[in-house]
Structure 1
């Protein structure tokens, strides 16, 4: 018995030594440029210059490793306490160097990557643009941070995917037939079917009027939207100004019936970032559609019913409302 106990103790010591050796061996990751980055030790001090990457680090439970972020990284709220280091187009190189990061996470399009690397600061370039990118980036960052998969990327992605499926199942069947226009800024640029936003819409079964053939975020001729005549518009509070004054837009069904979801800046951040909050983005879209559908159902006797000459006095209020709902959402 004593011999067996000693054997088990030596096995435990051996396993511990192996684990320590693995941890000390560091990590090796490949970024979006195809460059292999090898770190002798797991990075402890991280600078992130892209909100979606900052959020990914935090989603993996490693917010404490961030020592600085770009000016747009604002979730979770604790990031507000960190040094703000400019943006992807104008990073503050001097401030980044002063923080002595083990690695900088940045989009491949970020300026000054070469300058940072020439100063001996390794950069891992990652830029998620699609759902599949988000999953890949999540696992790359997980590997970089050496987080156990069962507590990190595996769990995070499983939760995201499950929440997206739940949101899709919660979408009213008739609502899936509604034509939706999602505007990302007032140029106007729209979210196409191949964009991160468009993929979320597709996952929910939302009928996006911007076809895949136009690209991810095409600049749209306003007349195109008039001709498409969406039943619902999704837009941020910042971009709503002047929308109703565009030629012909008062005739668009969504504008005429005031079925426009105006997102707060906080909601807009969730919606437009290709990051780990994509399930929350789906929930925001779902609420938008449900709310506007609900509002219309209760107000149809004074709005759409009037436009389509529904005769509530003859049909009766209940039957008339039912008819108008079917007219509107069918």
Structure 2
């Protein structure tokens, strides 16, 4: 009798389909996967870093050209940019799922070719937490939000490291050429707020506004934060040579590697807060060398 019952139970288990995995992405689209994906193409550096921080780098089979951290992803096939991926190259990798930004032009074409796409694009702290949770759900990694708890603790520690004299420093953070600035509602702007300094951008401008350089001249920030890729010729911008930050050398120019840390809403956000805190502490207290 026991043998018959065991055989019946085994038959039921074999006939019962594996429960599908469903996740709703930032478009509001619910994506159904037969199982947790084993072959993943990631087309946004922050998503790539999150997958790896969750210990699942081995599932990545391709990345965008800007995904360069951790070092192990540099050996993976690159399939174009996040906004303009090489669709044919992505398809050739036979991914179970493609992780990419909602703003990417390749989403609909990849879906039309039968690929599963999960579009996620964090812009602020709440977004970052949600995206980490979503990726943890897709990868079936428990407690993915442990990453966010570590980030939160790291940002708090960076804020506590700043001397009282550095508080209320007025900061301009340039994200990229355009120029595009870090607005108050962006993850960068939120970090500046937690550090206790003031962003010269006003809330109505949005998370990453393209601004008129004259806006910065009128605001006359105490400290300017900018990447080395964008820093050349700052003093030649109309009116900029007369700003206090340039006259007194209150300028933090970040290396390309540091800029990657600063502008990616992912697992290294606590390191980004430490970079910003170090800049503020070193530039807000006393003048540095003038910028030529």
- Give TM-score, length-normalised by structure 2: 0.89
CA distance in 2, matches of 1:250, 1:22: 71
1:260 aligned residue: 251
Q: CA deviation at 1:156?
A: 1.2
For 1:112, which of 94, 106, 109 is the aligned residue? 106
2:267 aligned residue: 276
Structure-to-structure mapping, 1:1-330, within 5 angstroms? 24-149=18-143, 153-293=144-284, 296=286
Q: SS of 1:239's equivalent?
A: helix
CA distance in 2, matches of 1:23, 1:47: 26
What 5-or-longer segments of structure 1 have no aligned partner? 1-13, 304-330
| Mean Cα deviation higher: 165-174 or 58-67 | 165-174
CA distance in 1, matches of 2:86, 2:155: 37
Q: CA deviation at 1:23?
A: 11
What do the CA deviations read for 1:25-65 (whole angstroms, capped 9, x no partner)?
24211111111112121111100011111111111111111
CA distance in 2, matches of 1:204, 1:219: 24
Deviating beyond 3 angstroms after TM superposition, the runs of 4 or more aligned structure 1 residues are 20-24
Q: Which has the higher helix share?
A: 1
Whose RCO is larger (CA < 8 A, sep 6+)? 2
Q: CA deviation at 1:22?
A: 11
- Give TM-score, length-normalised by structure 1: 0.79
* Shift in alpha-carbon separation, 1:117–1:260, aligned structure 2, 3 A: same
Q: Does the CA contact (< 8 Å) of 1:175 and 1:289 recur in 2?
A: yes
* Shift in alpha-carbon separation, 1:247–1:235, aligned structure 2, 3 A: same
CA distance in 2, matches of 1:49, 1:217: 20
Q: SS of 1:101's equivalent?
A: coil
CA distance in 2, matches of 1:228, 1:22: 65
| Mean Cα deviation higher: 69-78 or 246-255 | 246-255
Q: Does the CA contact (< 8 Å) of 1:47 and 1:101 recur in 2?
A: yes
Instruction: Give the structure with higher Rg (CA).
Output: 1
Q: Does the CA contact (< 8 Å) of 1:134 and 1:276 recur in 2?
A: no
User: What RMSD in Å do the two structures reach over aligned CA positions?
Assistant: 2.4
CA distance in 2, matches of 1:47, 1:33: 19
Q: CA deviation at 1:165?
A: 1.1
Q: CA deviation at 1:222?
A: 2.4
CA distance in 2, matches of 1:247, 1:22: 70
